[in-house]
Amino acid sequence: MRSSDGLYHLGDLNIRLKQPGDTAWKSFSTAVARKTVRAIKAGGAVLAAADLTETFATGMPLQVQRYWEVKITSWYYDLCCIIRQSRRLK
């Protein structure tokens, strides 16, 4: 667990977005302020999953879900973080 806001850990995300018609980019980060994430059911190759949407500042136009998966190849194990956009930009 973070000792304070603003510290980064494995899995924290920084996202910059600019919607059509906007002139400025908007920045969102999971490291700015700690908030509880909503766990998503994991299974199979998915080790852990969470909905990170509430960890971003107000106005985040996306629902962001993080999935930690193990992908096995013939030579190694690969731990992947997959980000899925679950809601369209408005």
Nearest Cα to Cα of residue 13 among 85, 77, 72, 88 = 85
SS3 52: coil
pLDDT tens for the chain, residues 1 to 90: 556 787 787 788 899 988 889 899 999 999 888 888 889 998 888 888 888 888 888 888 888 888 888 777 766 666 666 666 655 555
Every domain of the chain and the residues it spans: 14-85
0.75 exceeded by the pTM? Answer: no
Q: Which residues contact 35 (CB under 8 A, 6 or more apart)?
A: 54, 55
What pLDDT does 1 receive?
A: 53
